[in-house]
């Protein structure tokens, strides 16, 4: 289009009415102030990295869960009324069951698309919590939880915990034999609490287990209370991401003061929108291909029946592992029976989760770092943090293994007792070993980086010199690469300070200060980081003395 | 003869002699060994006779010559023909090696031989006998009732859908998928290895028939899996693994793909 005709068009438009879209936008701006909002946010820059999209996977699965969940509520009856099954699934015809179970059977066998939607809902839940955990690990290992993002870290953590419990209450709703066993498990854990246990159980179940109330109560918790809180937290989480701006990996041109990437509109809108459909597609494909929670195979719940291989969904698996690994200790305390075999795991359960949640605060206390951070760490440059993270994963994994000890035993032809003992010992030993191994690997990688900076990349090209010596040709790194490998700062450990002050009087040094200095030494002391190459070293080595 | 004597120091001579000697021994044994009796004898006593012979060869090492048992094998007096048909028919017996539990394997006796051994063991003392076909056939059984009974009596070891489970110290309840109805019936009747027995006084034949019919109905090899891939029918553990490996794995692959495809910044 030539400039001249463009001008005429503009002129005619000005003379006539503005286009419809513009008028609608004007109308909305007059009432909502969208122009200033859009101006501020549409050009917001987001950095590009696949690991930044893990949170998006969680977000989109959550949306899919809400969408499919709404459909399921149209057909599910949260009632424990006794009914006799007369649907199309032959092996259950004539069996008495709760209305909740019967309506889930109805969804699975008679409602159009019901089974597919149910399976999408359940698979999305599995993926949702897995994605949250992986997203959390990404944030952890890159140090994205540091100031100013500590509160957002806690929001995310709360979302994970709430997600677990929303999942658990949802898994319990169909009132099938498997989930009923899970609810019974939970009731047992509540009962093991001294003094308050029985009261709490009676309150929750409206009388003796299972009673007639828990499905309706769990239903309210599952579809209203917990998702409501989660939606609120999620919005807050996203607002904070906008407010803080996204972190970015170190690289040439990236500083603590800028964000290098693509604008939200149009690039990220298109990418994120497309990614939503990709996530939906993957989950729909999973649901269409693979069966999940086939409640008709388990049968309706009856307290006198139980099936082996009864596990919760994976995100509750570590609590199952805690119970399975714990010896069945029982003591009598002043005439009261304390069921430690259940009570101790119940107490360790929140500790496992809290251990990872409080780490950012411990780290900021130990390092005394109060600056803002927007450039991410490479995990190798913080061996202690990376070690703590992998140790926690090992801890979690060994408990997960314990939760499936029977499946492990039958499928690897092992004794279930041996698997349980492995979990018991591994609970204490594996995190330690993992920590040590990870720290060593990180230090090794730091050494490798140092080598690469000073001596360049090994090319694999062998050259023979005139006097017969063979050398490998090393290719010097590009300036960008050198920057990426050496941009990180290496903090100095905090010192307690001199024993005596300037007047020779003994200083008072609190125990906490000493502990902090010790920990700081562990974080950044000699054994915890390899001094990065300095510019002088680099110049000296690359200035031509020697041939590599 | 001269030719032969000239070659007696040939390097292969010893081998040829050895071969001839072996052929001669084998041939002579075949010629003089007692010929096998005809198998198809309907007489009960003949079956017992044959069974006893088979027993002496394959079973007596552990269960003793007259079935009274030893320290490694239990007494077989009074276990009945149903126990023999189950143990030998599913290949569990003769056992390959001692262990926490004797696993199912390829069976090595023909049905005729099994019947003969069973006849011999049944002759040692009264016990449950091999069920007839209309006892265990699923026709006319109440499948739903069978499911109820299965969940009450069997699922705690064999899993609600009969996929098996772990017992203490390496013992296990095997999967019931693809097991012929006869053997399931016999297992209930005789209680092999770690399984409790459900004699007719405890569980009437009608109820056993219902259970067999239920298992036959839900058997994965014959019935469709409504939800798609069964993932072993093991419940949340295999579902979780599938979700992590294929679900999250696919998500990460897609994320990497999307992140790798980006618009190039254009200088304007």
pLDDT per residue as tens, chain A (548 positions): 344 445 445 545 555 788 999 999 999 999 988 888 888 788 888 888 999 999 999 999 999 999 999 999 999 999 999 999 999 999 999 999 999 999 999 999 999 999 999 999 999 999 999 999 999 999 999 999 999 999 999 999 999 999 999 999 999 999 999 999 999 999 999 999 988 999 999 999 999 988 999 999 999 999 999 999 999 999 999 999 989 999 999 988 888 888 888 888 788 888 889 999 999 999 999 999 999 999 999 999 999 999 998 999 999 999 999 999 999 999 998 888 899 999 999 999 999 999 999 999 999 999 888 899 999 999 999 999 999 999 999 999 999 999 999 999 999 999 999 999 999 999 999 999 999 999 999 999 999 999 999 988 888 899 999 999 998 888 888 989 999 999 998 888 888 877 777 788 887 888 888 889 889 988 998 888 899 888 888 888 777 655 54
Q: Which helix (H) or strand (E) holds A461?
A: strand A457-464
- Distance (Å) of CA A474 to CA A450, A455, A458, A461, A464: 14, 7, 5, 8, 14
Q: Whole domain around residue A8: which residue ranges?
A: 3-41
- A180 close contact with B: CB closer than 8 A: no
Q: Which of residues 333-392 of A touch B (CB under 8 A)?
A: none
Domain end, chosen from A307, A337, A353, is at: A307
Q: Are residues A136 and A253 in the same domain?
A: yes
A377, part of any domain: no
Domain end, chosen from A280, A307, A334, is at: A307
Cis (ω within 30 of 0) for the bond into A293? Answer: no
A442, part of any domain: no
Pairing of strands A336-338, B172-173: unpaired
Residues of chain A found within 8 Å of residue B254, distances taken between Cβ atoms? 275, 278-279, 282
Residue A472, both tokens: 């490998």
Taking an 8 Å cut-off on Cβ atoms, the answer to whether B255 and A53 are in contact is yes
- A305 close contact with B: CB closer than 8 A: yes
Contact between A90 and B217 under an 8 Å Cβ cutoff? The reply is: yes
A153, part of any domain: yes
Taking an 8 Å cut-off on Cβ atoms, the answer to whether A290 and B242 are in contact is yes
Nearest Cα of chain B lies from the Cα of A502 at a distance, in angstroms, of 58
Tally of domains within chain A: 2
- A156 close contact with B: CB closer than 8 A: no
Residue ranges of domains in chain B, CATH in brackets? 44-122 (1.10.760.10), 133-218 (1.10.760.10)
In degrees, to the nearest 5, what angle opens at C-alpha A300 toward C-alphas A297 and A306? 80
Residues of chain A found within 8 Å of residue B157, distances taken between Cβ atoms? 308
Q: Are residues A142 and A32 in the same domain?
A: no
Give the C-alpha separation, A137 to A158, whole Å: 15
- B140 close contact with A: CB closer than 8 A: no
ipTM of this complex prediction, to 2 decimal places: 0.89
Q: Are residues A35 and A134 in the same domain?
A: no
A65, part of any domain: yes
Residues of chain B found within 8 Å of residue A111, distances taken between Cβ atoms? none
Taking an 8 Å cut-off on Cβ atoms, the answer to whether A297 and B161 are in contact is yes
Q: Are residues A235 and A257 in the same domain?
A: yes
A328, part of any domain: no
Taking an 8 Å cut-off on Cβ atoms, the answer to whether B217 and A91 are in contact is yes
- Distance (Å) of CA B89 to CA A148, B163, B220: 71, 21, 22
Nearest Cα of chain B lies from the Cα of A508 at a distance, in angstroms, of 53
Q: Are residues A63 and A153 in the same domain?
A: yes
Q: Are residues A263 and A128 in the same domain?
A: yes
Give the C-alpha separation, B101 to B103, whole Å: 6
Q: Pick from B158, B218, B247: which is nearest to A127 by CB?
A: B247
CATH number at residue A53: 1.20.810.10
3-state DSSP assignment of residue A249: coil
A52, part of any domain: yes
Which of A74, A102, A69, A283 has its CA nearest to residue A170? Answer: A69
The phi-psi region of residue A279 (left if phi > 0; otherwise alpha if psi is between -120 and 50; otherwise beta) is alpha
Residues of chain A found within 8 Å of residue B161, distances taken between Cβ atoms? 294, 297-298
- Number of residue pairs across A and B with CB atoms under 8 Å? 209
Nearest Cα of chain B lies from the Cα of A491 at a distance, in angstroms, of 32
Q: Pick from B160, B166, B237: which is nearest to A298 by CB?
A: B160
Nearest Cα of chain B lies from the Cα of A539 at a distance, in angstroms, of 34
Domain end, chosen from A274, A292, A307, is at: A307
Residues of chain A found within 8 Å of residue B246, distances taken between Cβ atoms? 286, 290
């Amino acid at each position: 289009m030539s400039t001249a005709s463009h001008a005429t068009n503009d002129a005619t438009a000005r003379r006539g009415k503005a286009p419809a879209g513009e008028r609608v936008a004007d109308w909305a701006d007059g009432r909502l102030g969208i122009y200033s909002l859009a101006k501020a946010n549409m050009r917001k820059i987001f950095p590009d990295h696949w690991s930044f999209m893990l949170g998006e996977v969680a977000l989109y699965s959550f949306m899919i869960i809400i969408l499919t969940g709404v459909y399921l509520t149209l057909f599910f009856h949260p009632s424990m009324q006794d009914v006799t099954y007369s649907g199309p699934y032959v092996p259950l015809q004539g069996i008495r069951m709760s209305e909740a179970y019967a309506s889930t059977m109805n969804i699975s066998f008679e409602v159009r698309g019901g089974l597919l939607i149910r399976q999408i809902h359940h698979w999305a839940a599995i993926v949702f919590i897995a994605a949250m955990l992986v997203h959390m690990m990404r944030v952890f290992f890159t140090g994205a939880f540091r100031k100013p993002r500590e509160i957002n870290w806690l929001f995310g953590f709360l979302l994970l915990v709430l997600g677990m419990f929303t999942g658990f209450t949802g898994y319990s709703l169909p009132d099938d034999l498997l989930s009923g066993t899970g609810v019974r498990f939970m009731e047992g854990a509540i009962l093991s609490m001294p003094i308050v246990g029985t009261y709490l159980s009676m309150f929750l179940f409206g009388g003796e287990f299972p009673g007639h109330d828990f499905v309706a109560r769990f239903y309210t918790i599952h579809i209203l209370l917990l998702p409501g809180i989660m939606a609120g937290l999620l919005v807050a989480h996203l607002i904070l991401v906008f407010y803080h701006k996204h972190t970015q990996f170190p690289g040439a041109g990236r500083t603590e003061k800028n964000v290098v990437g693509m604008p939200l509109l149009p690039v990220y809108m298109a990418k994120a929108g497309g990614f939503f459909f990709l996530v939906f597609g993957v989950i729909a494909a999973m649901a269409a291909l693979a069966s999940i929670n086939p409640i008709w195979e388990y049968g309706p719940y009856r307290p006198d029946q139980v099936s082996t291989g009864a596990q919760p969904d994976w995100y509750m698996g570590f609590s199952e592992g805690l119970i399975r690994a714990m010896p069945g200790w029982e003591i009598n305390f002043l005439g009261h029976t304390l069921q430690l075999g259940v009570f101790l795991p119940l107490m360790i359960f929140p500790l496992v989760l809290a251990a990872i949640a409080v780490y950012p605060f411990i780290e900021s206390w130990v390092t005394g770092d109060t600056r803002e951070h927007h450039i991410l760490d490479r995990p190798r440059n913080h061996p202690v943090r990376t070690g703590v993270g992998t140790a926690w994963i090992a801890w979690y994994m060994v408990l997960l293994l314990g939760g499936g000890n029977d499946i492990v035993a039958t499928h690897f032809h092992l004794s279930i007792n041996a698997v349980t003992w492995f979990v018991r010992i591994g609970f204490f030993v594996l995190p330690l070993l993992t920590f040590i191994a990870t720290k060593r690997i990180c230090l090794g990688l730091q050494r490798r980086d140092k080598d690469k900076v000073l001596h360049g990349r090994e090319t694999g090209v062998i050259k023979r010199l005139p006097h017969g010596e063979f050398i490998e040709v090393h290719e010097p790194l590009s300036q960008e690469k050198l920057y990426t490998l050496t941009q990180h700062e290496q903090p100095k450990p905090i010192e307690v300070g001199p024993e005596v002050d300037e007047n020779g009087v003994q200083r008072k040094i609190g125990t906490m200060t000493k502990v902090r200095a010790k920990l700081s030494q562990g974080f950044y002391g000699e054994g915890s980081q390899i001094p990065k190459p300095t510019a002088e070293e680099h110049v000296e080595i690359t200035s031509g003395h020697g041939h590599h | 003869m001269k030719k032969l004597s000239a070659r007696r120091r040939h390097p292969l001579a010893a081998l040829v002699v050895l071969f001839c000697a072996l052929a001669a021994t084998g041939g002579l044994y075949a010629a003089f060994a007692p010929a096998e009796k005809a198998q198809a004898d309907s007489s009960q006593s003949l079956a017992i006779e044959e069974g006893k012979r088979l027993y002496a060869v394959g079973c007596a090492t552990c269960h003793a010559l007259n079935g009274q048992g030893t320290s490694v094998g239990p007494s077989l007096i009074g276990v009945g023909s149903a126990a023999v048909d189950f143990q030998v028919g599913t290949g569990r017996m003769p056992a390959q090696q001692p262990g926490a539990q004797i696993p199912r394997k390829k069976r090595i006796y023909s049905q005729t031989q099994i019947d003969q051994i069973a006849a011999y063991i049944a002759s040692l003392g009264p016990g449950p006998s091999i069920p007839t076909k209309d006892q265990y056939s699923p026709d006319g059984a109440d499948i739903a009732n069978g499911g109820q009974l299965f969940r009450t009596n069997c699922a705690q070891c064999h899993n609600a859908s009969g996929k098996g489970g772990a017992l203490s110290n390496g013992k296990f309840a095997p999967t019931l998928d693809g097991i012929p109805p006869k053997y399931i019936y016999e297992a209930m009747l005789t209680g092999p290895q770690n399984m409790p027995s459900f004699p007719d006084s405890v569980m009437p034949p009608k109820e056993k028939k219902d259970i067999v019919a239920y298992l036959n109905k839900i058997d994965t090899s014959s019935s469709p899996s409504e939800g798609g891939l069964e993932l072993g029918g093991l419940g949340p553990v295999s579902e979780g693994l599938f979700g992590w490996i294929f679900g999250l794995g696919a998500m990460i692959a897609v994320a990497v793909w999307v992140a790798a495809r980006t618009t190039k910044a254009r200088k304007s």
